[in-house]
Each structure stands twice: as C-alpha cells, then as structure tokens.
C-alpha cells in the first residue's frame, strides 16, 4: 500500500509540474493580450485623488503587492484631522474604473486552490482552555431546519409535564383526572385492600355466629363500624374510579369518555350493584338506634345481602399484584420469592377461614332444626365462639377419618366430601407452589455458589495473594447481590415501558444535575431517553473512579456508596449519596480531569457519554436547541477565570447557565424579575435616605443632575466617583440595582467603566482614565492620544442635559442583552436596542433613571439607539462593514439632525471606553485608542464627505499605523484584510502578507473584488464573524491563513451564483458556523472542501425599518462528522488530485478566453 501511495505521489508531481508550466504560459499569453488591447489602462492622476501614491507597474511584485511602504509614517501621535482628511485612495478609483460598477469584474466559476505550505502562526492551546465539541455544532445545524412556535412549545411542554408526572394530582376534587400511580390513588387502593381484608374476616364470622350491628360487645361494634365505613368508602370509590386516568396500550389517557367506558366494561356494574345492596341492607336497620340497635326487620334478608357483599372479595386479586410490584421495586429477587410465598399463604388462610365459618354455620343450622350436628358430637355447643372457631378450623384443615357426623346428616356429609376436595386441591396446590418457590430460591443460591466456586478455581491458577483474593470475592458477593443475571422475553415489555423503567431507576440521580432536572420538566420524553443511555458501573472499596490528568470522556453520577474526592488543590472531601462530576466533558473537546475520585466503599456510578447525549437529542429539536445554547454558555463560563476549583466552577456554571435558559424562565419565572414587579428606586435608595441629602438620594428630584452640578463646582474626585454614580443612577447599585437583579455583573462593570471614563474625559482626569491600564500588560494611553480624545469631547460640546442623558444611556444599554428581559419583550426580536427602547417607553420602573430626563434628552437616547442599531462602530474598526453602512449612518443623520449625531459620538466615546470594564478605561489603551481616534476623525466629516472617503480614509490611517503600502489595489484589499484580522503591529501584517502572496492570481483577484466592494455601486458581501475565523485559523495548524482565504474564495464563488439575480447591494453572510468549525477541524483536506458540503439558508430581517437580506452558512453534518478526522497520506493525495483537476479546468477556461481575445 505504501509503495502504491509513493508511486501515485511521483506521478502526480510530474503531472502537476507539466500543468504548472502550461498554466504559466497561458497566463503570460493572456497578460500580453490584455496589455496590447489596453484593457486595464486608467488615468491615476485624475482630480480628487488622494495623497497616496498611485498604482504603478514598476513597484509591484508578481503577487500584485507593493514592495516599498508608502512615504509617510505614523508619528508619536495619531495625525489630526487637519493633517489627514477623508479621501478615496487613487488606487481604489483606478480599480473601480477598470472593473466598472457592475458585479461582473470576477467570473462566477469556482477558482482553484493550489497545494501550498500552511501559513500562519500555529499555537498550542492552553491546558486550561476549554473548547466546545464539534458534535454540538453538528446538532445545532441538524435542528436548525425545525421550528416550533414559542407558545406551541410552551403548551406542548406543559402537556407533556402533566402526562408523565410521577406524583399525579393529589387533589381528588381537581378538574383533571387523578394519576393512577399518584400518591392519593396509591393510598386509596391500600385502604380499599384493608377494607376487603376486614370484610373477608368479619363477614363470614358474622354470618356463622349471627353477629348484630350494635355496641354491646367488641365484635358487634367492630362489625358496625366496618359496615358503615364500607358503605361510605365504596360509594366514594365509584366517583374516584371515574376520576382516575387509565393506560391504553401503555399510554396514559386522560379522556373521561375513555375512562367511563373502561370502567363500565370492568367493575362498574359490580360496584354499583354491591353499593345498592349495602344501602338496601341499611334500610332494614331499626330506626331507634338509641333503644335497640340490634333488632333487624328481616334477619334472613340481611344475611343474603351480606353474602352478596362477599363478591367484593374478587377485588382481592389486586393484593397479589400490588405486593409483587412492591417486591419488584426493591430490586431483590429473594424478596420477590418471599412475597410469592406470603401471598399464597394469605390466600390459603382466607379460603380456610371462609370454609371454617361455613362449616360452623352448617352445623348450627342443623342444630337449629333440632337434629344432632357435629357441634353436639364435639360437645362444643356451650363453648365460647373462639373455641368453637378452633374446633371448626381443626376439622377443615385435618378432617378426622371416619368423620364425626351423624348418618342422617346429608348436608354435613356433603360438606365433608367437598372439604376433602378443598384440602386436596387448594391446600395441596398452595403447598406445592410454596415448595416450588423454595426450590427456586435454593437454585438461585446454588447458582451464586457455583459462580463463586468457578471464580475461586480461576484465582487458584493466577497465583494471587490472599489479600487480593479476599477483595475479589467481596466484590463478587456485592456484584451477585446487586446484578443477578435474569433471562426473560424482552418482547413482553414495550420500548416505552422499558424507558419508563429506566426513568424510575435512574431519574432521581440524573435530575440532580440542574439542566437534566429542567429537561425532565420541559422535555420528559427526551429525559427518558437520556436515562436509558446511562451506563451503570460498580466499583470496589478503594478503587479509583478517575484520576487527575486522565482524559475525561463521561459525566459521572454517584448512586450508592461512600467516596473520597480530592480537588486540584489537594483538599479531600468524603461524601455519600448523589453527586455529579465532569459535566464539562459532555460539551468540551479533549478535557482532562482536574481532580481524583476514589470509592471508599462498594459503590455504583452511572456514566453518560457526550456522544450518547447528542444521540438522545437528535429527535427532539426543541430540547436540542436548549442544550446547544446551554452547552455554549457553559463552555464560555468555564473559560472565565475564577477563584474556584474546576469542579466547583462546573457546579456554579451548571446552576447559572440552567437558570438563564428560556425554558427555565418559563417554567420557573422569578417574580422579582417580572417587569411589573421590579422597583429599583425604592430598593436601591431606601436604606440610604437617612444618610444622604434629599437632593442627592431622591432621584425623582434629579439626583444625577445635582451630581453633575456638584462636579462642575468641586471637580471630579476619583475616590468617591463610583459611590456617587451608584447613588445617582439606581441601575448601577451593586446589590439591588437592575444589573444586579438580572445577574448581569459584567455588563454592570462595563456600564460603570463607561460612565467613569466619560466623566474623566469631560473633567480632564487622565489618571482616573488610565488607572485600570496600569494593572494590565498593555501600553497605556499616551498623552497625545488623551489630547485627541479630549478634542473629540470638546468638538461635541455636550450640554448638561446631554451629559446626563448619555450617562443614563451608558448605564442602561447593557440591559438589552438580558435574556430575562428578552423573553418578556417579544417585540424586540432579540435585538438589544429594541429591548432598551421598550424599557424607556413602557417599563420605566426597570430603568428609573430615565424618569428624571426631559423629553428632549429621551429623544437623544432613542435616536442614538436607532443609529447604533444601523451602524456598528466596532465593525468599522475591524473593517467588517462597508461604505454602504456609513451611507446609512449619513442618511439617518440627515433625518435626525446633526445634534443627534454629536450626541451619538459622545455615546461612542463612553461606550468604547468601557468595553473592558474597570474603574476607568481598561479597553481603550494605546493600540485601541489610535484606531478609535482614527475612526472618529473620519466620522467627524460625516456630513461633508462621501461614505467611501470616510471608510477608506480610516483604512488608510490604519495603513500608516502598520507602515503598509497603498500603491496597488491589492495593497488596499490586504489592508482591509489586516483590519479584519485585528492586526495591531507590523509583524502580524507581514504574516498576513506572506499568506496572501501564496495565493493564486485568480484567487487574489476574487478577494480584491470582494474586499473593495462598497455596497453602493457594487454589491458588497459582509462576512460576519470573519475576524473570528481569521484569528482561529492562525492557531489551527490544519487551517492556516492561506487555506482560509482559499475557502473564502470558494464561498464567494458560490454566493455569486446564488445572488446573481438579486438586486440587493449589501448582503450579510453569517459565518459563525465556519468559525466554530475552524476551531475543531483537524484535517486540512476536510477544511479545504468544506464549502462543497455546506448549505446556504436565506432570510430577510428588518432593522429600524430597513429590510436587508441575510444568508446563514450552515456547515451540515457532512462537515461536523469529519471534523475530528486526522491528516493522512490518503487525504493529502485526495487534495492533490483535486488540485490537479481544478488546474486542468482553469487552463481550459484560460485557453477559451485567449481564443476570444484573439478573435
């Protein structure tokens, strides 16, 4: 096989060499033809050209990149607006002139990808870094095609939760039927069995000894109470049976019609008849209870009625079923055998009791008729009833031979014959059944003894020590006791019932994990399948369950036993009972244990593998969606550093992430977080009213405005600015503020940082602004950059009203990201800006700071949110959006007014300063500040410059920072690519430039066409999450920058085909799936061909009244299932074959084009 692969490689190398030579000749021929016909001639010195040198052929290499940097460099500070104004680079004007405004500049056929060395800077992942496993992205893609309405899911979940309730409805007067296995119904059945046993004992005795209903003696009193209780109970039992759900073909049915028909076909007629006879019987009781309660109007009729009551003993069959089910629920086979013996003995004794009473009644009847009965012969006529009973049961159990019966007593003789048959059949059968049960018990014990004997024989040949043999035998005893092998016909139990059996056995352990407890309530069917996927493991004393440093593949659920857990700090904890460990292994890829778990006693542990969990979720899109979101949030939370151990952090993340799911908030809504119940001002300011002045603490009288006035008079005091903000803006209160109530601590930290940073800029406190940067390994904002930031604030000229409004906006903007609020505000469609707008207009109790603002200030906030929804400055900073987005901002600014734009700039300054949190600006350090200042310098000319000049002017500023040339169109495209790659230094730019140089000319042309599109004249495709893709491709050796660019070209070619008939100028393409795929893919060939296995899902969304088209790139299961394939010779060979075929196709297309040019 190896020789075949080597020979194939040699043949492919020679073939590729020939194709490369042919390709170069064809390319040279085409270049000469194009030059001769002057296809790409442009005048680069037209009026309006920028100061950047025009593109020339003398200073470009074969890759189209300028060899020398531009002849200006960045000084110690960012150039001011006077030294560098917005303008369209001349190379871009030349490129637009050569390609035209249409989208035909690049052919739509798929371009080839050359076989090259991987570019980029591979880095090893940190040992503590966690990464979401690809199977969850595959599951998310699989379920994305299904959609269930929000309310439909909620109603469906509520219905399912009722159907599988283990407890049932404990209120017997509830409108809905009782659950047949509910607590109330079980207690009701046990009481009915108690009354049946009472009737089985008392009724025969009362008939034989002619007991009356009275309170003269103990027997009559007990009989009276029994009859009255039975009358009330069995009457109510009819209505309870009509109000109890039933199982039809293994499925719980709540239909009252079906319940009635089932009852009518079974016990209804008998129950109604016996209850009617009971009422008829009570009618014969004398009306004078105080005088003579023992007198009956017709004793014979009463006896007949009582005999009919014995028919109710037919329900005694339930006794055997219930006792056997109880025995089976214990999980011990010997208990089942003992209960079988007990049931047989009880039935035999009850039958013998009835026959004994019948034998005495026959003798008494013969005696009453004046004949000699067996009672006379036994001389028992004057004995007590108990002694008479003993004489009778002695005759029944062991009749004498010959019988002591008069020769003329036919009834007694007939009974003697029937009693012989009874003794022979019933008692003999019972004894035989008991003997068989005992034999089965002995066989079971013999089987265990045989297995233990075989193990001992095996150990004798293994040279094992006595201590080891003892441990093994103790473990064998435990295993045999817990897991006795039983063979049965599995077809007798349906899949549904078997699954419910798993839920009953394992559900209590699994539901201790918060997300699985939520799954049981919201998606019971899915929870049942997960229970079935659990694997049971038995551990001996002092056996290691898992050790620190080993690979974690499963989640562990302890069921029984005592364990010792040693965390990463070496702290030991001994526990008994239900605990769970390593839930992270279900969601993360390549996780290792950070602690050790050892069993102190014999114990049972259930394990759940991540793959099995995903398989269980495949057929439940709603639960799969919940788990995918939960898994992503869980992994993200685990990536944040905390002071807890990894196990402790998992416990905290499990609870927090579960409570933030939409399903949890629907099932368990927190009254404190309901919009109508939130009261921030009272909670935040109530305790402090006595210690602060009224003007400061009472927000309704303008606490924030008073704070700003105090700052104007006394200046900014860094030591108490945080406390002042918390008192003036209740939403920022650390304990009872809105952020704290909604558990958005990081967003609160951002809000505080934004407000403090903006105040530091307004009141010129440089030290307060850079205070968080002093503690971080970053370059502190330079005094020159501080001067430019101050110039921006001065240019805005904020009034006290605007400053108050912008502080409120910065404080409440993060509330729009709260899932708790999003789930309550359905009209927001998941957009944070719309959530905040709703709060301002309809729920000011959540954002009480807005109540102290004027109508004009509220208008500033609302309009700024609309602008922020249309234009995202962060996307401009990394080159993710296009000039068309600047045009939208420009158009909106013309509608709303320049004053609103100034307020928006002031908001952006505070917003960008607080992205990293801290008491100051942690984010806007030197490198970030120079990019932000450059973008704001361009946006200051929004109303007097074109969108393209503003956008590309910012790109040119970034080029000056990186000392990058802009002498060719490819230089400009590469510079935008550097922004997309978040390159901050020259080294990163050079790495990007090397990866670009390894691309083919056609691939570079496609990328240049894409990167230079403006969305105004030519269609622009905005690849969302492309910066994430670039960052992750650098750390994945199987991807690299060059291969990422090739895949991007494949995607653009496919998009050009899909969008060929579309008139949209700006199309959004979501690459979030591709970003996650880059993170986990391990095979370069799989990644290079991933676009061929993708799907494009088109949709339309409206933002601020503007409709825009969005395309979702779905990686599909064909990609996710191959993400973990490792590189091999075969995959590399397949990649080389694909490369050769694509080159051949390209040569053919080039030859056809040259033929057309010659014609």
Reported confidence tier of residue 1130, pLDDT bands at 50, 70, 90: low
Q: Are residues 109 and 235 in the same domain?
A: no
Reported confidence tier of residue 57, pLDDT bands at 50, 70, 90: very low
Q: Are residues 109 and 191 in the same domain?
A: no
Inside any domain, residue 997: yes
Q: Are residues 1134 and 1000 in the same domain?
A: yes
- In angstroms, the CA 252 to CA 163 distance is 7
Token pair of 667, please? 């099932």
The per-residue pLDDT for 609 is: 92
- Whether the pLDDT of residue 960 is over 60: the answer is yes
Q: Are residues 199 and 115 in the same domain?
A: no
The per-residue pLDDT for 908 is: 93
Burial class (CB in 10 A: 0-12, 13-18, 19+), 219: middle
CATH number at residue 562: 2.60.120.10
Reported residue count of the chain is 1159
Inside any domain, residue 540: yes
Domain that includes residue 262, residue range: 164-329
Look at residues 635, 667, 699 and tell me which one is the last residue of a structural domain.
667
- Whether the pLDDT of residue 700 is over 60: the answer is no
Q: Residue 984's closest CA among 1011, 969, 964?
A: 964
More confident residue, 214 or 294: 214
The per-residue pLDDT for 23 is: 55
Token pair of 369, please? 């008729």
Q: What's the total number of domains in the chain?
A: 3
Average pLDDT of span 243-258: 80
3-state secondary structure of 44: coil
Q: Do 1111 and 1071 contact (CB within 8 A), yes or no?
A: no
Q: Are residues 113 and 228 in the same domain?
A: no
User: Which residues lie below 8 Å from residue 1016, measured CB to CB, with a gap of 6+?
Assistant: 883, 884, 887, 947, 948, 1065
Look at residues 285, 313, 329 and tell me which one is the last residue of a structural domain.
329
Token pair of 203, please? 């009724």
The per-residue pLDDT for 27 is: 54
More confident residue, 1060 or 308: 1060
Average pLDDT of span 515-533: 90
Q: Do 969 and 74 contact (CB within 8 A), yes or no?
A: no
The per-residue pLDDT for 687 is: 46
- Whether the pLDDT of residue 114 is over 60: the answer is no
Inside any domain, residue 184: yes
Inside any domain, residue 188: yes
DSSP state of 84: S
Provide the H-helix boundaries in 461-585.
Answer: 466-482, 495-510, 514-522, 524-533
More confident residue, 37 or 1094: 1094
Average pLDDT of span 753-766: 92
Look at residues 303, 329, 355 and tell me which one is the last residue of a structural domain.
329
The per-residue pLDDT for 824 is: 84
Q: Are residues 208 and 309 in the same domain?
A: yes
Inside any domain, residue 983: yes
- Whether the pLDDT of residue 152 is over 90: the answer is no
The per-residue pLDDT for 306 is: 63
Per-residue pLDDT tens over the stretch 412-460:
888 888 887 877 777 777 777 777 777 777 777 777 778 788 887 787 7
Inside any domain, residue 227: yes
Q: Are residues 110 and 186 in the same domain?
A: no
Q: Which helix (H) or strand (E) holds 1106?
A: strand 1106-1114
More confident residue, 782 or 1062: 782
Q: Check: pTM over 0.85? Answer yes or no.
A: no
Q: What are phi and psi of 1038, to 5 degrees?
A: -80, -10
The per-residue pLDDT for 28 is: 54
Q: Are residues 978 and 1054 in the same domain?
A: yes
The per-residue pLDDT for 665 is: 83
Q: Are residues 110 and 238 in the same domain?
A: no
- In angstroms, the CA 842 to CA 850 distance is 11
Inside any domain, residue 1143: yes
Residues above pLDDT 90, as percent of the chain: 17
- Cis-peptide, bond into residue 402, ω within 30° of zero: yes
Q: Are residues 549 and 660 in the same domain?
A: yes
Give me the DSSP letters along 420-480.
Answer: HHHIIIIIHHHHHHHHHHHHHHHHHHHHHHHHHHHHHHHHHTTT--HHHHHHHHHHHHHHH
- Whether the pLDDT of residue 1081 is over 50: the answer is yes
Reported confidence tier of residue 702, pLDDT bands at 50, 70, 90: low
Q: Are residues 1024 and 1143 in the same domain?
A: yes
More confident residue, 901 or 1141: 901
Angle ∠(777,783,788) on CA atoms, nearest 5? 115
Token pair of 655, please? 């609870």
Q: Residue 106's closest CA among 1031, 834, 1053, 1058?
A: 1053
Q: Are residues 1115 and 983 in the same domain?
A: yes
Which residues are registered as beta bridge partners of 308?
none
Inside any domain, residue 424: no
Q: Worst-scoring range by mean pLDDT, 118-127, 630-639, 903-912? A: 118-127
Per-residue pLDDT tens over the stretch 568-622:
888 889 999 889 999 999 998 878 898 999 998 888 899 999 889 998 998 888 8
- In angstroms, the CA 200 to CA 204 distance is 7
Residues above pLDDT 70, as percent of the chain: 74
Extract long-range pairs of 566-570: CB within 8 Å, 24+ residues apart.
566/595, 566/596, 566/597, 566/598, 567/594, 567/595, 567/645, 567/646, 567/647, 567/648, 568/594, 568/595, 568/645, 568/646, 568/647, 569/645
- Whether the pLDDT of residue 695 is over 50: the answer is no
The per-residue pLDDT for 943 is: 87
The per-residue pLDDT for 25 is: 55
Reported confidence tier of residue 562, pLDDT bands at 50, 70, 90: very high
More confident residue, 413 or 497: 413
């Amino acid at each position: 096989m190896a020789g075949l692969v080597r020979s194939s490689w040699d043949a492919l190398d020679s073939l590729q060499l020939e194709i490369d030579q042919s390709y170069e000749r064809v390319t040279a021929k085409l270049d000469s033809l194009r030059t001769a016909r002057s296809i790409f001639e442009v005048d680069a010195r037209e009026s309006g050209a920028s100061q950047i040198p025009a593109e020339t052929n003398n200073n470009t290499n074969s890759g189209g990149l300028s060899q020398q940097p531009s002849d200006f460099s960045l000084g110690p500070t960012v150039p001011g607006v006077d030294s560098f104004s917005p303008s369209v680079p001349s190379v871009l004007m030349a490129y637009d002139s050569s390609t035209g405004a249409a989208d035909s500049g690049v052919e739509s056929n798929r371009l080839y990808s050359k076989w090259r060395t991987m570019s980029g800077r591979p880095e090893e992942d940190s040992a503590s870094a966690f990464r979401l496993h690809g199977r969850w992205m595959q599951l998310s893609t699989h379920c994305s095609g299904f959609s269930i309405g929000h309310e439909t899911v909620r109603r469906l979940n509520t219905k399912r939760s009722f159907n599988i309730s283990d407890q049932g409805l404990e209120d017997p007067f509830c409108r809905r039927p009782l659950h047949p296995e509910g607590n109330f119904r079980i207690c009701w059945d046990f009481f009915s069995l108690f009354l049946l046993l009472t009737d089985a004992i008392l009724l025969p005795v009362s008939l034989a000894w002619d007991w009356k209903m009275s309170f003269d003696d103990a027997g009559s009193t007990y009989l009276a109470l029994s009859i009255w209780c039975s009358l009330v109970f069995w009457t109510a039992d009819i209505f309870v049976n009509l109000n109890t759900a039933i199982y039809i073909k293994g499925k719980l049915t709540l239909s009252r019609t079906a319940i009635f028909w089932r009852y009518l076909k079974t016990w209804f007629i008998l129950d109604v008849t016996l209850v009617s006879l009971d009422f008829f019987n009570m009618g014969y009781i004398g009306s004078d209870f105080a005088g003579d309660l023992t007198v009956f109007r017709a004793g014979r009729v009463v006896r007949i009625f009582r005999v009919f009551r014995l028919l109710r003993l037919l329900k005694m069959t339930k006794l055997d079923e219930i006792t056997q089910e109880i025995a089976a629920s214990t999980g011990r086979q010997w208990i089942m055998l003992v209960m079988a013996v007990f049931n047989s003995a009880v039935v035999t004794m009850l039958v013998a009791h009835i026959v004994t009473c019948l034998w005495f009644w026959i003798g008494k009847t013969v005696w009453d008729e004046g004949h000699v009965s067996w009672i006379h012969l036994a001389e028992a006529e004057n004995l007590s009833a108990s002694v008479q009973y003993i004489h009778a049961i002695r005759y029944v159990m062991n009749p004498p031979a010959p019988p002591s019966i008069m020769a003329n007593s036919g009834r007694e003789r007939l009974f003697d014959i029937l009693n012989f048959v009874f003794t022979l059949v019933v008692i003999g059968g019972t004894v035989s059944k008991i003997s068989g049960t005992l034999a089965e018990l002995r066989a079971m014990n013999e089987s265990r003894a045989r297995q233990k004997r075989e193990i001992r024989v095996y150990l004798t040949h293994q040279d094992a020590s006595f201590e080891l043999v003892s441990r093994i035998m103790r473990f064998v005893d435990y295993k045999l006791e817990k897991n006795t092998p039983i063979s049965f016909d599995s077809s007798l139990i349906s899949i549904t019932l078997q699954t419910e059996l798993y839920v009953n056995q394992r559900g209590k352990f699994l539901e201790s994990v918060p997300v699985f407890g939520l799954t049981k309530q919201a998606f019971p069917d899915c929870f049942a399948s997960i229970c079935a996927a659990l694997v049971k493991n038995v551990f001996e004393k002092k056996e290691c369950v898992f050790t620190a440093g080993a690979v974690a593949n499963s989640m562990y659920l302890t069921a029984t036993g005592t364990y010792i857990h040693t965390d990463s700090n070496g702290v030991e904890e001994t526990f008994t009972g239900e605990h769970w460990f390593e839930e992270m292994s279900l969601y993360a890829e390549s996780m290792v244990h950070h602690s050790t778990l050892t069993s102190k006693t014999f114990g049972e542990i259930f394990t759940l593998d991540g793959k099995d969990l995903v398989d269980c979720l495949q057929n439940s899109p709603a639960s799969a969606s919940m788990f995918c979101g939960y898994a992503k949030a869980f992994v993200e939370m685990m990536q944040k550093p905390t002071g807890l151990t990894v196990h402790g952090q998992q416990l905290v993340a499990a609870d927090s992430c579960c409570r933030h799911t939409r399903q949890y908030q629907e099932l368990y809504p927190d009254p404190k977080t309901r919009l109508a119940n939130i009261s921030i001002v009272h909670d935040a300011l109530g305790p402090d009213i006595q210690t602060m002045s009224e003007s400061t603490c009472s927000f309704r009288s303008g606490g924030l405005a008073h704070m700003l006035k105090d700052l104007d008079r006394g200046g900014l005091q860094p030591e108490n600015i945080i406390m002042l903000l918390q008192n003036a803006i209740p939403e920022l209160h650390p304990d009872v503020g809105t952020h704290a109530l909604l558990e958005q601590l990081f967003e609160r930290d951002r809000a505080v940082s934004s407000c403090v940073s903006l105040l530091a800029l307004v009141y010129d406190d440089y030290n307060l602004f850079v205070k968080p940067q002093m503690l971080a390994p970053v370059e502190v904002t330079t005094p020159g950059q501080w001067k430019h930031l101050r110039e921006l604030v001065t240019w805005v000229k904020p009034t006290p009203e605007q400053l108050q409004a912008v502080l409120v906006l910065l404080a409440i903007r993060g509330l729009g990201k709260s899932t708790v609020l999003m789930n309550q505000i359905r009209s927001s469609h998941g957009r944070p800006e719309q959530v905040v707008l709703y709060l301002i207009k309809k729920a000011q109790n959540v954002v009480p700071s807005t109540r102290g603002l004027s109508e004009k200030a509220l208008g500033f906030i609302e309009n700024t949110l609309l602008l922020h929804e249309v234009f995202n400055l962060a996307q401009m900073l990394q080159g993710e959006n296009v000039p068309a987005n600047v045009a939208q901002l420009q158009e909106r600014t013309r509608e709303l007014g320049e004053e609103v734009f100034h307020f928006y700039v002031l908001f952006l300054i505070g917003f960008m300063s607080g992205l990293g949190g801290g008491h100051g600006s942690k984010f806007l350090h030197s490198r970030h500040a120079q990019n932000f200042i450059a973008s704001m310098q361009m946006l200051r000319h929004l109303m007097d410059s074109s969108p393209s000049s503003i956008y590309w002017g910012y790109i040119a500023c970034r080029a000056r920072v990186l000392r990058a040339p802009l002498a060719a169109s490819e230089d400009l495209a590469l510079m935008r690519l550097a922004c997309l790659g978040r390159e901050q230094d020259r080294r990163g730019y050079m790495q990007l430039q090397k990866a670009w140089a390894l691309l083919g000319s056609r691939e570079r042309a496609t990328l240049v066409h894409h990167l230079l599109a403006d969305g105004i004249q030519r269609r622009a495709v905005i690849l969302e999450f492309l910066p994430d893709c670039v960052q992750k491709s650098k750390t994945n050796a199987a991807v690299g920058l060059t291969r990422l660019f090739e895949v991007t070209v494949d995607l653009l070619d496919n998009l050009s085909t899909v969008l060929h008939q579309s008139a949209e100028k700006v199309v959004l393409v979501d690459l979030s799936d591709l970003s996650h795929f880059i993170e986990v893919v391990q095979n370069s060939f799989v990644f290079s061909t991933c676009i061929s296995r993708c799907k494009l899902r088109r949709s339309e969304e409206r933002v601020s009244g503007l409709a825009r088209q969005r395309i979702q790139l779905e990686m599909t299961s064909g990609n996710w299932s191959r993400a973990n394939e490792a590189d091999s010779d075969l995959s590399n060979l397949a990649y080389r074959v694909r490369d050769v075929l694509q080159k051949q196709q390209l040569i053919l297309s080039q030859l056809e084009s040259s033929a057309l040019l010659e014609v």
